[in-house]
Structure 1
Amino acid sequence: MLPIASGAEVRAYLRRLIKAHPRMLALVVVLHVGAAVAGLVTPACWATWSRRPPRARPPRPSTASPSPSPASS
């Protein structure tokens, strides 16, 4: 059989953990929430970005000298 803790034992362990490592526990919670938000927001942003039509690029200025046009006879 597996050793299973009772609800009271789990709550007592959690209280000890919070008292012993409050900053680390807060950091873990903040990072977990940040990862969850990024996981929800990124696909929506990616879908919006991928449907966007390509940007129109302005014409490049010509740096070469213009080619002479053929002389009409």
Structure 2
Amino acid sequence: MEMTCAREVFTSIFKSGAVTKKCCGELKVLGKVCHDAFVKKTLEHPIYENLSELAIAKKSTKTWNPCASVIDISPSSSA
């Protein structure tokens, strides 16, 4: 995942913001297990210990679900 997309995903979960279609595609490629592991590992860091795990779990889902529903449309090759 590109750093700009990693920032978008992080910001949408731990702060406020949206994830672009491009970055949703990159997140989708990583998969739900990786997404969940990223959130869990981030919450283990002392700087985030005062955050509500329930609130972050909700924001994580609100980030993942729209990205998971993004349909990849590859441009057709021209002959």
Return the structure number with greater helix share.
Answer: 2
* TM-score bucket (shorter structure): 0.3 to 0.5
Higher relative contact order (CA 8 A, sep 6+): 2
TM-score, reference length from structure 2 = 0.30
Normalising by the residue count of structure 1, what TM-score does the alignment of the two structures yield? Answer: 0.32
